């Protein structure tokens, strides 16, 4: 069975250029998100939705109307294509290829983010010696 990840490019394409008005695809997508999130057991257990806006980052539980306003105003937190904090499970093939998602594309090819971070920490500590 093919479990293709849904196209959620609408999540980060919020406004029309020059007009500032929200795109219809974004408004419809937010409605879909709210609807699916409210169907989850977590919603009933928590008594609200974890707000995935840029500012709240799924740390606040709010009423769905407030979450909608936050999303319209702030947009979604970065890279929230799989709604894990709202009951979605990461596709198995995505989990198996998780290392590739930790890479950053550069002119010279891909670099592993963690390796780069380790190198920076090592360099910083070496300067203190």
In a domain, 40, yes or no: yes
What is residue 56's predicted lDDT score, i.e. its pLDDT? 96
CA distances from 75 to 29, 54, 58 (A): 12, 6, 12
Give me the number of domains the chain comprises: 1
Evaluate whether 128 touches 121 at the Cβ level (below 8 Å): no
Cα 91 to Cα 105: distance, rounded to the nearest angstrom: 23
pLDDT along the chain (129 residues), means of 10: 69 87 95 94 92 96 96 94 84 52 48 54 56
Is position 68 within any domain?
yes
pLDDT for res 18: 81
* Domain residue limits at 68: 9-80
Within a domain: 65: yes
**Is 86 among the domain residues?**
no
pTM: 0.66
User: What integer pLDDT is reported at residue 2 of this predicted model?
Assistant: 46
Residue with tokens 């093939």: 93
Q: Is residue 29 part of a domain?
A: yes
The confidence score (pLDDT) of residue 14 equals 92
- Residue 118 pLDDT: 60
37: exposed, middle or buried (Cβ count in 10 Å: 0-12, 13-18, 19+): buried
What pLDDT score does 100 carry?
A: 45
Q: Is 126 a member of any domain?
A: no
Residue 26 in any domain: the answer is yes
Is residue 110 in a domain? Answer: no
pLDDT at residue number 119: 60
């Amino acid at each position: 069975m093919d479990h293709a990840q849904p196209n959620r490019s609408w999540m980060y394409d919020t406004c029309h250029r020059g007009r500032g008005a929200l795109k219809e695809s974004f408004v419809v997508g937010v409605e879909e998100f709210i609807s699916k999130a409210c169907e989850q057991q977590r919603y009933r257990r928590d008594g609200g939705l974890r707000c995935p806006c840029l500012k709240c980052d799924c740390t606040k539980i709010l009423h769905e109307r407030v979450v909608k306003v936050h999303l319209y105003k702030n947009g979604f937190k970065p890279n929230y294509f799989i709604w894990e904090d709202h009951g979605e499970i990461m596709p198995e093939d995505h989990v198996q290829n998780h290392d590739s998602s930790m890479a950053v594309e550069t002119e010279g090819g891909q670099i592993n983010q963690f390796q780069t971070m380790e190198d920076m920490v090592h360099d910083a500590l070496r300067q203190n010696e």
